[in-house]
Amino acid sequence: MRKELDEALCKKYPEIFKDRHGDMRTTAMIWGFQCDDGWYNIIDAVCAQIENRERNNNSVEWLSVFATQVKEKYGTLRFYYVGGDDFIDGVVAMAEAMSAVTCEVCGAPGRLRKGGWLKTLCDEHAKEQGYDKFDEEQE
């Protein structure tokens, strides 16, 4: 993810990304957001839901959520965190599912592509990155 988007998320949600510049022995957030820009809005929406949940349940200390890693894995988003409850688990699961139909590069509708690496891409970025030839082979 571009530096300015990384910084925008960390500034907007400082408690969730409090370990963004932490110790590499305790968090993987030091590596930043390990995905492309297209999932920015999904990550932003997850964080907004987490923040809203915490705001409405501020007397429950164990609910406090902070991210330990945000990355692409097997073509979809992974949002690893500490804290939360069943609601937060559901929000994160929904976001991860949304990433499977959202182009990781631009945020347009996309689908999981196979070819070397798994990657969720729109048709334009699939063609640009050479994934379209793998689509033809599978038909």
**Are the C-beta atoms of residues 50 and 16 closer than 8 Å to each other?**
yes
CA distances from 113 to 62, 101, 135 (A): 38, 10, 7
Closest listed residue to residue 64, CA positions, set 74, 77, 51, 75? 51
What is the pTM assigned to this prediction?
Answer: 0.90
Averaged pLDDT for residues 21-44: 94
| pLDDT reading at 97 higher than 60 | yes
Residues 6+ apart with CB under 8 A from 16: 47, 50, 51, 65, 66, 67, 81
* Bridge partner list, 73: 76
**Are the C-beta atoms of residues 46 and 79 closer than 8 Å to each other?**
yes
Closest listed residue to residue 38, CA positions, set 79, 98, 90? 98
- Condensed to tens digits (0 to 9), the pLDDT of residues 34-92 reads 999 999 999 999 999 999 998 887 655 556 899 999 999 999 999 999 998 999 999 99
